[in-house]
Amino acid sequence: MKLRGKQVSPLLETNSRFSICVIGLGYIGLPTAAILASKGHNVAGMDVIPQVLDDIRKQGATPEEPGLAQLVLGELESGRFTLSDKPEAADVFIICLPTPILPNKKADMSYVEKGVRSILPLLQKGNMVILESTVPPRTTSDLVAGLVKEIGLDPENDVDLAFAPERVIPGDILLELSTLDRVIGGLTPKAASRAKELYSCFVTGEIVITDSTTAEFVKLVENSYRDVNIAFANELAQLSYDFGIDVRDAIQIANRHPRVNILQPGPGVGGHYIAVDPYFIIDGAPETARMLALARIVNTEMPGLVVKILSDMLGGLQGKNIAILGLAYKADVGDCRESPALEIMKILESGGAKCKVHDPYVKNAGFELYELAEAMEDADAVLVTTGHSDFKNINGAEMLEKAKGNSILDTRRVLDRDSWAKAGWDFRYLGDGRS
């Protein structure tokens, strides 16, 4: 099969055929279930929301995931993949349930706990239970093993408990599920190798096995590493105003050092993972995870800094109309979960400004979005919060005719400052402390 022009290795054949019950058919559970079915396993996919099951039956999957709808419908047709609203007896249970963050920044483990509880009446000696959800360290050894003990089974000897996290990116899930290297952690070495055997049927990347707590920690460390590195760049952007320099120049020059590779600053960190995963570590060891906590503080301060710069440019926010270009948390996608633009809007509106948001990628924001021309109409200022490639083609001179004011702050450096300034805009880039 070819995905995004890349050849995915020919389907692997495994000698062991398992019956598998996948609990939770969202972004992760559905492709995992379908891919396992395509390798010859009998897979029951289970979800508590009837609409989720209906949608899968009708259309397979969202068209945004290349190849997924076709794979799902094909496996349903073959009978190897079935759908259910209740867990079914199986050799292997795979838990793909949400682990959102609570307002107090603790992991909400209620979905995982409920999901594991729902399979307990079916659990038999010799079964495998694999957790794929992103979870705080020690969830497999404490929460999952603890629940297994409640029904009188020994979590180390009677069943095999493992943690097999995901690293995939929406939009490329099917490709990345099969090709990325994976870490799998077992409560026991036997559990880790049994889980590895199962995942080897479709993972062509390397599978590294370890204990379950290390694997849980690794999953969180990956996104925490990115959060800390972004925070470093964002702190440099903050410092640019103290020292009157352009942070972009400074970073570009510093990156000429062969062992320096500083990221670019921005208006904050968004998405459901980088902005969330560090809290799962911080919560478990708040006194030790100082750098992770500080990185979160620096990154969450950025929307406030953006609003302060804009407010200074405008001489206050009260009654000002702001055209916000970009709601998504990153360029060229429509995902606005935890997007800094949402926080920026909130702060602008609490300061008395009115925001009109334009984002050609976002379909449903939960509030009204505007076409570019409508957003610009009567705008006192423009704020660019996402680096969508389309924005590069916006004509500054044409926009100035529609707007009321001429202030613009580009937090992503996506627009060409010279041409906009030439057209008459008071143009600032975030992190240019010279302006």
Residues that bind ligand NAD (CB under 6 A): 23-29, 46-49, 52, 96-99, 111, 114-115, 118, 132-134, 166, 168, 170
Residue 49 CB, shortest distance to ligand NAD, in Å, is 4
Closer to ligand NAD by Cβ: residue 52 or 207:
52
Torsion of CA 392, 397, 398, 403, to 10 degrees: 100
Measured from the CB atom, the residue of 138 and 402 that comes closer to ligand NAD is: 138
Burial (CB count <10 Å: 0-12, 13-18, 19+), residue 318: exposed
Closer residue to ligand NAD, CB minimum distance, 65 or 359: 65
Q: Which is nearer to ligand NAD, 335 or 377 (CB)?
A: 335
CB of 222 to ligand NAD, least distance (A): 10
Give the Cα separation of 160 and 274 in Å (integer): 30
Least separation in angstroms between residue 318's CB and ligand NAD is 39
Report, in Å, the least distance between residue 434 CB and ligand NAD. Answer: 39
Number of residue whose CB is nearest ligand NAD: 26
- Pair of tokens at residue 87: 């867990």
Partners of 101 in the beta sheet? 107
Provide the minimum distance between the beta carbon of 198 and ligand NAD in the complex, in angstroms, as a whole number: 18
- Burial of 216 per CB tally in 10 Å (0-12, 13-18, 19+): buried
Nearer to ligand NAD, 177 or 344 (CB): 177
Residues forming a β-bridge with 324: 357, 383
**Whose CA is closest to 215, among 170, 169, 183, 248?**
183
- Least distance in Å: CB of 277 to ligand NAD? 8
Tokens 């050849």 — which residue?
7
**Angle at 268 (CA atoms; ends 266, 272), nearest 5 degrees:** 125
Q: Which is nearer to ligand NAD, 114 or 190 (CB)?
A: 114
Nearer to ligand NAD, 76 or 344 (CB): 76
Q: What share of the chain is helix, strand, coil (3-state, %, to 5)?
A: 40, 15, 45
Q: Which two tokens stand for residue 39?
A: 């390798």
